């Protein structure tokens, strides 16, 4: 079942059955091109319950938009927003505005959302830090730049896509994130110590979906209706991580050893020297895939020759780079592959 940390959805005007009149804030803006005055209205943020960040008119139209997070679930926060509980937001907001859930479900569309999966550390079998190292070392798609956060108050990693469309996955320790000042009011409303203890046993995977096109593609749906997004069976986070790792089914990286094993595998002395030379260049460039690729593109002036040594040749430059990155992040290749495969398996099962 799909799980969400946040949802921004449409609220059809016909679904609004009534509400308080003293909580609306109206604003007027002039269109810079036409000069047309566009009036919008939104509920005063002070009147909104914990977990609801915005309720406003849809850019001057008849309909409304609501942005809310799994915090509306209270103690069930870590379960995420799902097909079974997404509508609890309208129970919580009812003292402010009364909305027909059925109309929203049948007639709304999703503008943005964040898919989330809280995997149990016990199911993966490794500590948070080992999982972060494995994922960092296993990233093979250079269109995703890695970022690591390892402080007392923040632990996790991030893969930022270099594409124009926002492509981002964050993997982090939720128990530390909950201690941020912006979560103070939420923690006051629940049994905070219990929730934090529970989250310590988990590692969170989260992907942002910020365009209608990306939602359709990633959820494998034709439109952007709320119903189709909630009911989608696509393993969204699993597929996203596969793209970052650049794998099809499982992660399996070529392993290298010293000369004896290399020779046993049919390698020649010249090939071994070639391997060691490449390793030296990679280390000098601090295992930066961007710098290493640029270096070898300069060394091999011919595009065909570069592609042969980078992709196709046995013991290719790219495979050697991946192996050196594994060493840099302090985790053995076999262990990293095992962790990545267990993560992918559990992300897939989370939606199945």
Query: Which whole-number Å values give the CA distances from 85 to 77, 153, 164, 197, 330, in the listed order?
Result: 11, 31, 33, 23, 41
Query: Looking at the domain assignment, is residue 58 inside a domain?
Result: yes
Cβ count within 10 A of residue 88: 18
Q: Model confidence at 239, in pLDDT bands (50, 70, 90)? A: very high
Mean pLDDT (whole number) for 134-159:
88
The Cα–Cα gap between 148 and 170 comes to 10
Q: Looking at the 3D structure of the chain, how many domains does it have?
A: 2
Distance of CA 19 to the CA centre of its chain: 36
The most confident of the ranges 29-43, 113-127, 149-163, 271-285 is 113-127
Which residue in this structure is represented by tokens 């027909």?
Answer: 100
- 288-300 confidence digits (pLDDT tens): 777 878 888 888 7
Q: In the predicted model, is pLDDT for residue 253 greater than 60?
A: no
- Please say which residue of 87, 108, 129 terminates a domain: 108
The Cα–Cα gap between 88 and 74 comes to 10
Q: What pTM, to 2 d.p., does this model score?
A: 0.77
Query: Looking at the domain assignment, is residue 271 inside a domain?
Result: yes
Q: Model confidence at 331, in pLDDT bands (50, 70, 90)? A: confident
Q: Which two tokens stand for residue 286?
A: 């601090």
Q: Which helix (H) or strand (E) element contains residue 281?
A: helix 269-284
- 159-203 confidence digits (pLDDT tens): 998 877 778 999 999 999 999 999 999 999 999 999 999 999 999
- 254-263 confidence digits (pLDDT tens): 433 345 556 6
- Please say which residue of 51, 76, 108 terminates a domain: 108
- Residue 93 DSSP one-character state: S
Identify the three-state secondary structure at position 315: coil
| 193, 178 Cβ separation under 8 angstroms | no
Among residues 91, 92, 51, 84, the alpha carbon closest in space to that of 70 is found at: 51
Q: In the predicted model, is pLDDT for residue 107 greater than 90?
A: yes
Q: Which two tokens stand for residue 42?
A: 């939104």
Q: Which two tokens stand for residue 265?
A: 């595998």
Q: In the predicted model, is pLDDT for residue 273 greater than 80?
A: no
DSSP character string of 151-192? SSS-EEEEEEE-SSS--EEEEE-HHHHTTSGGGHHHHHTTTH
| 45, 121 Cβ separation under 8 angstroms | no
Q: 139 versus 117: which is more confidently predicted?
A: 117
- Residue 49 DSSP one-character state: P
Among residues 124, 119, 209, 215, the alpha carbon closest in space to that of 172 is found at: 119
Query: Looking at the domain assignment, is residue 4 inside a domain?
Result: yes
Query: Looking at the domain assignment, is residue 168 inside a domain?
Result: no
- Among 16-20, 230-234, 344-348, which is the least confidently predicted range? 16-20
Query: Looking at the domain assignment, is residue 203 inside a domain?
Result: no
- Please say which residue of 58, 78, 108 terminates a domain: 108
- 9-61 confidence digits (pLDDT tens): 999 999 999 888 888 888 777 767 777 777 788 899 999 999 999 999 866 56
Mean pLDDT of the chain: 87
Q: In the predicted model, is pLDDT for residue 236 greater than 60?
A: yes
**The dihedral formed by the CA atoms of 138, 141, 142 and 148, expressed in degrees to the nearest 10:** -40
Backbone angles phi, psi at 272, to 5 degrees: -65, -40
Residue 32's domain comprises 1-108
* pLDDT confidence of residue 257: 39
Query: Looking at the domain assignment, is residue 346 inside a domain?
Result: no
The Cα–Cα gap between 141 and 159 comes to 10
Query: Looking at the domain assignment, is residue 152 inside a domain?
Result: no
Which residue in this structure is represented by tokens 């139209």?
Answer: 61
The Cα–Cα gap between 179 and 83 comes to 28
Query: Looking at the domain assignment, is residue 31 inside a domain?
Result: yes
- Residue 287 DSSP one-character state: T
Q: Model confidence at 76, in pLDDT bands (50, 70, 90)? A: very high
The Cα–Cα gap between 128 and 135 comes to 11
């Amino acid at each position: 079942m799909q799980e969400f940390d946040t949802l921004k959805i449409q609220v059809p005007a016909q679904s609004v059955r009534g509400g308080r009149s003293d909580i609306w804030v109206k604003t007027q803006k002039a269109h810079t091109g036409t000069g047309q005055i566009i009036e919008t209205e939104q509920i005063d943020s002070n009147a909104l319950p914990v977990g609801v960040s915005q309720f406003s008119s849809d850019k001057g139209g008849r309909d409304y938009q609501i942005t809310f997070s799994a915090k509306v679930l209270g103690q069930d926060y870590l379960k995420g927003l799902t097909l079974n509980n997404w509508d609890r937001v309208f129970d919580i907001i009812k003292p402010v505005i009364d909305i027909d859930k059925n109309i929203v479900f049948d007639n709304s569309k999703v503008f943005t959302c964040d898919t989330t999966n809280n995997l149990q550390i016990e199911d993966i079998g490794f500590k948070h830090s080992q999982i972060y190292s494995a994922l960092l070392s296993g990233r093979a798609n250079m269109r995703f730049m890695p970022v690591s956060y390892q402080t007392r108050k923040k632990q996790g990693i991030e893969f930022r896509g270099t594409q124009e469309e926002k492509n981002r996955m964050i993997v982090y320790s939720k128990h530390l994130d909950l201690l941020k000042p912006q979560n103070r009011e939420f923690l006051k409303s629940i049994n905070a110590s219990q929730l934090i203890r529970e989250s310590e046993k988990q590692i969170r995977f989260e992907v942002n979906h910020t365009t209608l096109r990306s939602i359709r593609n990633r959820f494998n749906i034709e439109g952007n209706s709320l119903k189709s997004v909630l009911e989608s069976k696509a393993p969204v986070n699993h597929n996203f991580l596969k793209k970052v790792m650049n794998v099809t089914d499982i992660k399996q990286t070529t392993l290298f050893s010293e000369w004896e094993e290399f020779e046993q595998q049919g390698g020649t002395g010249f090939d071994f020297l070639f391997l060691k030379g490449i390793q030296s260049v990679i280390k000098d460039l601090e295992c930066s895939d961007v710098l290493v690729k640029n270096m070898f593109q300069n060394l091999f002036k011919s595009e065909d020759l570069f592609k042969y040594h980078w992709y196709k040749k046995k013991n290719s430059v790219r495979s050697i780079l991946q192996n050196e990155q594994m060493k840099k992040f302090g985790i053995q290749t076999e262990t990293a592959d095992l962790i990545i495969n267990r993560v992918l398996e559990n992300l897939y099962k989370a939606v199945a």
